[in-house]
């Protein structure tokens, strides 16, 4: 994947990392029995691990602290914390979208690392990782227009922004039932180690291969901290 790292990203987010995992020849069914079983096991494991914890205690997890610090700078809260609280503390089920998106949600919940998913064939490279200037606009996955906040972390192809930390993936390159090539982008603010990003993307790859055992997974690439 041809990726350019803008000076703005290195200047504004010197301790951050962005990890990318791409897979080809994937399938994206509405559901998959074995993946559903792994999802149920993950939910049970999270409830066993965090049972009796409070939201405040979840907030002290190192991963959550790192993301919360980033979001707090924009007057927002980290939504993966709310999802972890919902599943682990309130006993609610994880969202059940198509298999590829479910795999992404499962990995996010397991490691608490923010990830955006894209249809690889809809992307127009090269890609650019940047800190937003505050004037960029794109169409969010919910089909609503969005102007980025200055200094948000984002990625764009030659046509437009495809995802940002604060507002998520775009609609044009969204994962859909016909997706046969997929790209996952993990945004990790300062405080998240490279090893943790690699582990997260390895777990995500494992989940995708449950659904698409014949998929071709390309090497994980990570930018940041001297690359």
Domains for the chain: give ranges and CATH numbers: 3-31+96-223 (3.50.40.10)
pLDDT at 219: 81
**With 80 as the cut, is the pLDDT of residue 217 above it?**
yes
Which tops the pLDDT comparison, 22 or 225?
22
pLDDT tens-place string over residues 33-89: 999 999 999 999 999 999 999 999 999 999 999 999 999 999 999 999 999 999 999
pLDDT tens-place string over residues 164-206: 999 999 999 999 999 999 999 999 999 999 999 999 999 999 9
What DSSP character marks residue 43?
A: H
Looking up tokens 């945004």 gives: 187
At residue 227 the predicted structure's pLDDT band, cuts being 50, 70 and 90, is low
Which 3 state secondary structure label does DSSP give 220? Answer: coil
* Mean pLDDT rounded to a whole number for the chain: 96
Which of 83, 140, 78 lies closest to 106 in space, CA to CA? 83
């Amino acid at each position: 994947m041809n990726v350019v790292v803008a000076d703005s990203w290195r200047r504004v987010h010197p301790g951050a990392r962005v990890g990318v995992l791409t897979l080809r020849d994937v399938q994206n069914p509405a559901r998959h029995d074995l993946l559903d079983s792994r999802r149920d096991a993950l939910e049970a494991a999270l409830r066993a691990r965090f049972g009796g914890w409070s939201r405040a205690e979840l907030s002290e997890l190192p991963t959550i602290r790192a993301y919360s610090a980033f979001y707090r700078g924009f007057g927002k809260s980290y939504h993966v914390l709310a999802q972890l609280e919902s599943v682990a503390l309130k006993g609610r089920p994880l969202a059940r979208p198509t298999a590829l998106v479910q795999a992404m949600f499962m990995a996010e919940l397991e490691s608490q690392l923010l990830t955006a998913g894209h249809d690889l064939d809809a992307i127009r490279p090269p890609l650019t990782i940047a800190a937003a200037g505050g004037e960029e606009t794109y169409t969010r996955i919910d089909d609503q227009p969005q102007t980025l906040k200055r200094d948000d972390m984002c990625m764009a192809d030659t046509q437009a922004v495809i995802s940002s930390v604060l507002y998520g993936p775009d609609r044009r390159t969204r994962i859909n039932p016909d997706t046969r090539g997929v790209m996952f982008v993990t945004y990790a603010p300062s405080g998240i180690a490279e090893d943790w990003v690699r582990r997260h993307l390895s777990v995500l790859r494992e989940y995708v291969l449950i659904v698409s055992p014949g998929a071709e997974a390309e090497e994980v690439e990570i930018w940041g901290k001297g690359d």
